[in-house]
Chains A and B, each alone.
Chain A
């Protein structure tokens, strides 16, 4: 009886305010989609960071004959003693994972490899390229430690963090996420205001029923339950719509849009499991927000 009674009341209530219910569902769906998108962007950023940070290194370029005679290079080309001191110091540092030494020949080979198709390397000789230490850090964000220890030291021409090259890209992802959160905030506000208003209209249109319920001694649970469940159902439908939008967005945006067209990116893109993993949050937020907003609204309107 109880469940049947409550379900019947919810159905009646939702249909009575159909237009308001649709407004609630749409606004909840949009805000949840933005929320999900923001979560996915940050997952995507993490996935790319994992991929790239594993591959980037800090390069300590040593002085070459041709370098201007200043800073670490006042004494011209790096001496054997300096080179060995740097190597020894690097290996002693706890932040350092691995160190490779790249001599002029290696650098030349690398350069040739990277510029196969251009005439750029034709006139180059190995002599013109600097030697360098390629340092892999245990924590790729600890670049500053290396930089402060080696920049300007005798024999060191420059310290370069490859991660810096990726920074603009990750900054872009962060801005995209922030923008999604920002718009989500306003959509969420709209959604909550709509939920509150719908609950209020709903309570008003059933004040006769609720008045009688109070008089015959129905508990708050019974009086408020249908209204709260009504909101929760609207929130649930909103979350379902958001799930659809997000899946479609994933399919057309990431899978079809990026992965299929840019093969290189394929291994760095988040999979559909990432979409699935954010869904519980969408449902929790959608249902929880609706139920809580109507609960607090009704507390004022349906006092015993």
Chain B
């Protein structure tokens, strides 16, 4: 039972074939992710990393197999319960996905406003999280007035402000230079240390090799490697 509680994501023989696609984007993948883990998802372009993350978010449903997230069977989760599931997950993407006409503070607050959090809570937690990601003093800037690294910090602040159980990052350093990437990874590591499970899809070899976390490699939809404290490529 304790083991069950500790598992935050479980894939049981999951296959995902998109409509009108000859070959599955993900084929017969089974794995478990424990609470508090930091997992890198690697593989060449088109290997199914984003598909994996979208399945966890229930943005897509598997063709066959079962997915459990935070103890819930996603196949049995009715549509109106999906928002509650997503509140337990934060998401960060390569393209930041900020609202260009809102300030940094408003962008982060937006995530709380739309899930109906009271103003008093928002006033309290937004500065806290902006401080955590290192953006104190830049609350009133527009996203266009920030560097890529800073924009990604806003996105991380927004993903983390509701203290999610899982943080899902799809190539969060994909648009950043190495120096900014390192900064973002330090931040994600700090967030991971608070007990948040992180799954990050990436192409960034240097980062994976340096962090020495669990590495899951996909190749044409197949899970070909699952290694704790792994590196980006095979260790021969």
Residues of A within 8 A of B (CB): 1-2, 5, 208-209, 211-220, 222-223, 304
Contacts and interface: CB of A to CB of B under 8 A. Distances in A.
B115 A212 contact: no
A216 B84 contact: no
Interface of B: 57-58, 79-80, 82-91, 97, 99, 110-111, 113-119, 122, 158, 162
B99 A304 contact: no
A216 B159 CA distance: 7
Contacts of A213: 114
A223 B122 CA distance: 19
A234 B99 CA distance: 26
Given A2-B116, A304-B79, 7 more contacts: A1-B122, A215-B57, A215-B86, A217-B85, A218-B114, A219-B80, A219-B83
Nearest to A303: B79
Contact of B99 (A5, A209, A218): A209
B127 to A, nearest CB: 17
A13 to B, nearest CB: 14
A208 B97 contact: yes
Nearest to B93: A215
Contacts of B83: 214, 217-220, 304
B87 A208 contact: no
A216 B158 contact: yes
A301 to B, nearest CB: 15
B91 to A, nearest CB: 5
B54 to A, nearest CB: 11
A275 B113 CA distance: 43
Contacts of A216: 86-87, 90-91, 111, 114-115, 158, 162
Which of A1, A216, A219 has its CB near the most chain B CB atoms (within 10 A)? A216
B119 A1 contact: yes
Nearest to B118: A1
A216 B164 CA distance: 10
B119 A214 contact: no
Contacts of A222: 114-116
A215 B99 CA distance: 13
B202 to A, nearest CB: 19
Nearest to B85: A217
A222 B158 CA distance: 18
Contacts of A223: 114
14 contacts: A1-B117, A5-B113, A5-B114, A214-B86, A215-B97, A216-B90, A216-B114, A216-B158, A217-B82, A217-B83, A219-B80, A219-B116, A222-B116, A304-B83
B110 A212 contact: yes
B29 to A, nearest CB: 23
A220 B87 CA distance: 13
A214 B118 CA distance: 19
Nearest to A304: B82
Contacts of A5: 113-114
